[in-house]
């Protein structure tokens, strides 16, 4: 398990297994500048970190949106160079939030290889409560969400009970449903209905309906951004200046930091399960 002072690191084989791509793909992305080079460790072995894993997830999501490698290169070049794994994960969530991808089926062994660690029944239940996976037909077969799985595995080392995860999802579902309902009501009553009443041309009404549908990505991004800012403020108020630090004590000092949220030791996995052809390059 990684300590607070050190981030988990992976060999190229371990990174490929966790990302669900091939080693060949990782090296190809490196030559194109899509991935930063690894740090060279003992015996000249390249070591990759959480930033590489999050960047691979973002690249995959951009491919799912239909972007070519050239377009992805331009996209990544415009991102700030100091984005960490957390920032990249949020960025991927913004890209993917209105286009949920298909689940991938995996055996328990493939699931552990993707997670980079052994998973007991409690781990599986907690990942399912997070929405990272579901049960598929057949014994020890699962439908996994690759992006959520990467994030969920990082939370397994945090002592959050299954019941707490279920309660957290309930809070998120309740309040996002309420926000969606209120925003829809506001748009319907203040924009759509007045426009339809005063506009006699049916073509213009149809065009307005089409433009309304195109607003969804912007609204989703606004909600995610507003929530992210609110969450930072609440965490700062609850735990002090740094979200990773413990609660502030009355004397002004920070309490002890909690367990590191990074994933456990990666398995010595070679290839990647469930690899998709879109990652292969000649």
Of 262, 204, 267, 29, nearest in space to 37 by CA: 29
Evaluate if residue 274 carries a pLDDT over 70: no
Give pLDDT tens digits for 29-80.
999 989 999 998 888 889 999 889 889 988 988 887 778 888 889 888 888 8
Under DSSP, the state recorded for 189 is: I
Bridging pattern class, strands 133-135 and 39-40: unpaired
Instruction: Tell me what pLDDT residue 81 has.
Output: 79
* pLDDT: which is higher, 190 or 273: 190
Report, as an integer, the average pLDDT of 94-111: 74
Q: Mean pLDDT over residues 108-121, rounded?
A: 90
**Residue from 260, 279, 268 nearest 112 by CA:** 268
91-95, 222-226, 240-244 — which one is most confidently predicted on average?
A: 222-226
Structure tokens at 153: 């595995």
pTM: 0.52
Q: Is 242 exposed, middle or buried (0-12, 13-18, 19+ CB in 10 A)?
A: exposed
Name residues whose C-beta falls within 8 Å of residue 242's C-beta, 6 or more positions apart in sequence. 254
């Amino acid at each position: 398990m990684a300590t607070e002072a050190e981030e988990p690191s992976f060999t190229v084989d371990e990174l490929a297994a966790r990302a669900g791509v091939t080693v060949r793909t990782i090296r190809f992305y490196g030559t194109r500048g899509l991935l930063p080079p690894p740090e060279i460790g003992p015996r000249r072995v390249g070591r990759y970190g959480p930033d590489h894993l999050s960047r691979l997830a973002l690249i995959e999501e951009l491919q799912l949106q239909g972007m070519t490698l050239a377009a992805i290169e331009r996209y990544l070049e415009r991102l700030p160079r100091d984005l960490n794994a957390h920032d990249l994960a949020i960025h991927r969530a913004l890209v993917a939030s209105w286009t949920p991808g298909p689940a991938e089926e995996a055996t328990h062994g493939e699931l552990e290889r993707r997670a980079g660690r052994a998973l007991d029944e409690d781990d599986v239940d907690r990942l399912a409560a997070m929405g990272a996976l579901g049960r598929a037909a057949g014994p020890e077969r699962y439908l996994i969400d690759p992006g959520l799985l990467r994030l969920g595995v990082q939370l397994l080392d945090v002592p959050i009970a299954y019941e707490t995860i279920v309660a957290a999802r309930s809070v998120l579902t309740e309040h996002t449903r309420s926000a969606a309902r209120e925003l829809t009501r506001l748009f319907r009553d203040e924009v759509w209905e007045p426009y339809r009443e005063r506009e006699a041309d049916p073509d213009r009404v149809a065009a307005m309906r089409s433009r309304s549908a195109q607003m969804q990505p912007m609204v989703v991004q606004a909600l995610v951004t507003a929530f992210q800012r609110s969450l930072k403020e609440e965490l700062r108020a609850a735990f002090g200046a740094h979200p990773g630090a413990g609660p502030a004590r009355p004397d002004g000092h920070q309490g002890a930091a909690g367990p590191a949220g990074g994933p456990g030791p990666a398995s010595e996995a070679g290839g990647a399960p469930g690899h998709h052809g879109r990652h292969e390059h000649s």
